[in-house]
Amino acid sequence: MSQPLCPVIMAGGTGSRLWPLSRQLNPKQFLPLTGNRSMLQATMERLDGIPHADPILICNEEHRFLAAEQLRQLGKAPSILLEPVGRNTAPAIALAALHALEREEDPVLLVLAADHLIQRVEAFHEAINAALPLAEAGRLVTFGIVPTQAETGYGYIQRGANLSGKGFEVSRFVEKPDHETAEDYLASREFFWNSGMFLFRASRYLEELQRHTPEILTACRQALEEGKRDLDFLRVGKDAFAACPEDSIDYAVMEKTESAAMVSLDAGWSDIGSWSALWEVSDKDANDNVLRGDVLAEATSHTLVQAEHRLVATLGVEDLVVVETKDAVLVAHKGKVQDVKQVVARLKKAERSEYHNHREVYRPWGVYDSVDQGHRYQVKRITVKPGAKLSVQMHHHRAEHWIVVSGTAKVTNGDKSYLVTENQSTYIPIGKTHSLENPGVIPLELIEVQSGSYLGEDDIVRFEDWYGRQ
C-alpha cells in the first residue's frame, strides 16, 4: 500500500433510544457507556496498531466543541468536518472522500461509526488487513458481523462467492427481518449483520456515487467548495449541503454497485443501540444484573440499573431497565426499550428541555449545571477551564451575581476589569457589558445567581467570542 489508511469517523446521530443518558446535545457517541472513555474516544484508540493517516471526523455543528475536547484529551488532532444539518451516511462519506483527496493521493478510507463497541480489537485489525487487498483492487468492502442470535434490530448481508480468505461477493442486502426470518438467516450461516463499517478507495466511492446517485456528489462538491475554516473546524456550505438528498450509503451505493464485497468480522461487535443491548454486553452479577452507581438491588434479576447522582433501590423486579440522571428517571421493561424513542418524541413535541440537553451543559470554555430555578431566578454552578474565557456579552432581561467557590476569576464589568478569588463575589447589572475569564492553572468554579423577567439562554448579545459563536 502506497500510503496508510485514512480513517473516517462518523459521529452524527442522537442515540434517542438511550435516553435519558443520551440527549440531543450530548448523544451516546460522547458518553462512556462501556468504560472510562467515551464511545468516540474508544473508537479513536481502537485505531492504535494500524498504520493510518490523521483521521477525518464528521460531526454535527452543535457537537463540535464536545468532540474537539474529547479528542484533545487523547492528544489527537484530526480534521473535523461540520455538518450544518444531518443528511445520512452517503453525503457524509462523500464529504470525507472529497476532503481526503485534497490531503493526499487517493487514500483507502476506513469508514467507522463513533458509537460502536468492539471487544476484540485484534480480530478487528485482522479483518481490516484481510479487506485491504480487496479495497486496493477497487472493491467497496463492507464488514459483515458473524451473528450470535436471531437479531431483528439489524439489517443483514447475504454472502456470495468466496473471493479470498474472509472476503466474499455480496449476494444481497436485506432489511431488518421478523423473528422467524432472522432464525432462518442464523441457521443458514450465509447471512451476516450489516455493521455499517466500510473500506474502499476514496476515488472508487466517488465513482460509484457519481454513477448511481450523482445529485449527492454534486451537492457535496459544492458544499465543500463553499466551506470555511473556523478555528480547528471545517464548516461546509450550509445551503448547498441542506439541498443534498438524504440517503444512506447502503441505498445510494452499496445495494447498486457491482463492486461490493464483504469481509466477515467476529470481534464482539455491538452498536449499543438500546438499553437491552448495553445490558447484553456488560458484566453481570450472580443474578444477571448490571448495576452501575449507587444501587441497592434486592430480589432483582436480569435488570440494568444505572444511578448517576443518587441512591436507586429495586425490590422484587426482573427484566427492567432503570436509569437515573439529575433531571429524569426511566423505568422500562427490557422488551420495550426499542420504544424509548417514542418517549423522546413526546418530549420533543412538548418542547421540554429533557429532550434537548442534560442539566449539565457543555460549552467550549467549560460546563454549567442548572442547580435550581424558579419564578424570576435561576442558580447555576459554572466551571471554567484554565485559560478559557466566556464571550464578551450583555443581557437585556437579567442581572447576575457571581460567587467564586475555587480558583480565580478575571471579571470585566463595563469599563472595569478586576480579579475575584475564593469566597468573593461580584454583581453584573442588567444591560452591562461583561465577561468572565479563568487566568489561572486550575479550574475556576463559581455559583451564578440570575434574577430578572426572562432567563433564557437566548438573552445573550455577544460582542466578542474566542470560539467563533454568533
Q: Is residue 278 part of a domain?
A: no
Q: Is residue 20 part of a domain?
A: yes
Q: Is residue 275 part of a domain?
A: no
Region 431-438: mean pLDDT is: 97
C-alpha to C-alpha distance for 139 and 119, rounded to whole angstroms: 27
C-alpha cell at 9: 469517523
The answer to whether the CB of 19 falls within 8 A of the CB of 340 is yes
Same domain for 253 and 213: yes
Q: Which of 2-16, 21-35, 385-399 has the lowest mean pLDDT?
A: 2-16
Q: What is the pLDDT of residues 324-344, one digit of tens each?
A: 999 999 999 999 998 999 999
Same domain for 234 and 107: yes
Q: Is residue 350 part of a domain?
A: no
Q: Is residue 303 part of a domain?
A: yes
Same domain for 148 and 20: yes
CATH number at residue 124: 3.90.550.10
pLDDT of residue 3: 66
Same domain for 319 and 216: no
Domain containing 120: what range? Answer: 6-270
Residue 214 has a CB neighbour count (10 Å cut-off) of 10
Mention every residue, 6+ apart, whose C-beta is less than 8 A from residue 398.
Answer: 430, 450, 451, 452, 453, 454, 455, 459
Same domain for 237 and 338: no
Q: What is the pTM of this model?
A: 0.89
Q: Is residue 352 part of a domain?
A: no
Region 24-31: mean pLDDT is: 93
Cα dihedral sign, 387-390-392-398: negative
Same domain for 189 and 94: yes
Same domain for 406 and 329: no
CATH number at residue 393: 2.60.120.10
Q: Is residue 391 part of a domain?
A: yes
Same domain for 150 and 51: yes
Q: Where would I find the H helices in 137-253?
A: 179-188, 202-212, 214-225, 238-242, 249
Q: What is the pLDDT of residues 161-200, one digit of tens each?
A: 998 777 999 999 999 999 999 999 999 999 999 999 999 9
Q: Which amino acid would we find at residue 85?
A: V
Q: Is residue 199 part of a domain?
A: yes
Same domain for 455 and 366: yes
Q: Would you say residue 1 has pLDDT above 50?
A: no
Q: Which amino acid would we find at residue 106?
A: D
